[in-house]
Amino acid sequence: MNKDGKVSFDEFKKVVEKYRTGDAALKRIFDSYDHDKDGYVDAKELVKEFDLNKDNKVSYDEFKKVMKKFKGHDEDTLKARFAALDKDKSGTLDAVELLAEFDLNKDGKVSFDEFKNVISKYKQGDAALKKRFDSYDHNKDGHLDAAELLHEFDLNKDGKVSFDEFKKVWTKFH
């Protein structure tokens, strides 16, 4: 990004973040959850989106499937958040437990800003991203140079990176 021929961790992070779920995509998802189109998602609407088998409770698998729509969520974060929300330790979330995760101001409904804020908590953290970056930084100088990038992205070792090669490596981020 600064055109010095090397990619620092901060530059790497900015590029990765650019390709994760953005505000426009989050807004479309939020709007699809807002069935009555009042600009908020209430407990009933929220459970309807997460309760994939329609048994009026949300299992961990259902929670995980829905949350995976928002790129960058790692399994450990999802498991920890689900366990923290499951106040009665039933192995499922009811409307009150699920709403508690998203309703940050406790007014009984979820605004887009609350939704966006919560989704961002689930994003892959800097530690995981730093680990990936460090795995590419073969000379351990804190930067990725052209040779290191080519080494990681040029899967068939022809000296060029095709779209398919780029896509295969890039999808590891999500």
pLDDT at 60 over 90: yes
Question: How many folded domains does the chain comprise?
Answer: 2
Count of Cβ atoms closer than 10 Å to residue 19 Cβ: 12
Position 9 confidence tier, pLDDT thresholds 50, 70, 90? low
Of 33-42, 109-118, 161-170, where does mean pLDDT reach its minimum? 161-170
Residue 149 has pLDDT above 90, yes or no: no
Burial, 158: exposed, middle or buried (Cβ in 10 Å; 0-12, 13-18, 19+)?
A: exposed
108 and 140 in a common domain: no
Are residue 64 and residue 12 in the same domain, yes or no? no
- Is residue 1 domain-resident? no
Say yes or no to pLDDT of 20 above 60.
Answer: no
Distance CA 1, CA 95 (A): 45
* Listed residues 78, 97, 121: the one ending a domain: 121
Q: What is the CATH number of the domain that holds 93?
A: 1.10.238.10
143 and 112 housed in the same domain: no
The answer for 5, left when phi > 0, alpha when psi is -120 to 50, beta otherwise, is left
Q: Is the pTM of this model over 0.75?
A: no
